[in-house]
Amino acid sequence: MAGALAACRERAARLPALATSRDGVSVSGLSSGAYMASQLHLAHSRRITGVALVAGGPWGCAESLATTGVARPLDAYLIIQQAVAGCMQHKLTHLGIPDLERLAARARALAAAGQIDDLQGLARARIYLFSGGRDRVVVRETVAAAGELYRRLGVAAEAIAFVTGVPAGHAFVTEKDGSACEATAEPYIAACGYDQAGAVLAHLLGPLAPPSTIAGGAYETFDQRAHVGDRDGHGLADVGLLYVPQSCRTEAGCRVHIVLHGCGQSRHTIGDAFTTTTGFARWADTNRLVLLFPQVKPSRVNPYGCWDWWGYTGTEYLAKTAVQIAALHGMVQRLAERADGKP
């Protein structure tokens, strides 16, 4: 609770300009964060080359039947039902949910309309998928469907890793921090003897230097409001978190990895547990990675603080212009700027 109250009271500065690399951006997420990771990826696949989906299903899954967005009451009803039953527990397969061919066609249509990047960029993508053996929230079949959709859209089969041998609940997995491995409970971080952060980064980025013993960089808060402008209903918290290794403050060209929390994992709910105990920082120190931890806040329409993967921010939630996708992209662009303002 103390962490949640502190998050509510914080005031933060603008995201710093660090001259990070504009290419090779990667993103990982748990649960709703996994769905948002795939949405951000398809929207900006020219820049984002690596994606990790931990307990997440296929892009656009909630629109498996209603492919026009939340435009009519019937569409809204179908999308909510699909999000819960079809895209998490895989209970509506008799209705074709998730309907991968329909989703692939939807992605191609958005790309043709310029609402997401050309799908040719997916040819160089690397994908990490994870399904815990005790996860009853987002089941293995749903996660497997994410990999199959990526294959249909042009990702090479050998570029997709699917990890299923860890007996975890619905959680991000670590070597020794968090709840019991099989638990599905706050903070949704489970100690399973598996360094998921390291596994994610190694698959997405290639060979890595060994991690530091302790995190030697610095966490800092930043003002997320600058990235949503005057748009209402965006769902983002006022403050996000950034981790910057010391070398990335003095030398240009560090890569960016975005880490997206799941439902019930924002700083408003569990404090800094997700940002500080998932294990990314030690790898960032020795591999010149800036870590971006954007934050969603709970609200009346989104009581668990989930990323928008079913349309609560509006009908365009899959497109580049979607408020959350645009904000995340704007954060990456800001990090890539030079402090002196030069191109």
Query: In angstroms, rounded to a whole number, what is the distance separating the alpha carbons of residues 131 and 143?
Result: 7
- Asked if residue 211 has a cis previous peptide bond (ω within 30° of 0), the answer is no
Alpha-carbon separation of residue 109 from 102, 114, 119, 220, 228 (angstroms): 10, 9, 10, 39, 26
Catalytic residue among 31, 38, 45, 179: 31
Judged on CB neighbours under 10 Å (0-12, 13-18, 19+), 80 is middle
Q: Residues 75, 99, 135, 308: which is the catalytic one?
A: 135
**31 part of the active site:** yes
Rounded distance between C-alpha atoms, residue 54 and residue 132, angstroms: 9
Which value, in Å, is the radius of gyration of the alpha carbons in the chain?
Answer: 18
Evaluate whether 106 touches 317 at the Cβ level (below 8 Å). Answer: no
Bridge partner residues of 223 (DSSP): 239
* Given the residues 44, 90, 170, 257, the one annotated as active site: 170
Q: 138, 122, 124: which is closest to 62 by C-alpha?
A: 138
Number of Cβ atoms within 10 Å of the Cβ of 75: 18
Query: Which of 88, 86, 89 has its CA nearest to residue 99?
Result: 86
Q: Which residues pair with 296 in a beta bridge?
A: 236
Q: Could you give phi then psi for residue 80, rounded to 5 degrees?
A: -65, -45
Nearest Cα to 333, choosing from 231, 259, 228, 256? 256
Catalytic (active site) residue 268: no
Burial of 238 (0-12, 13-18, 19+ CB in 10 A): middle
State the catalytic residues. 31, 135, 170
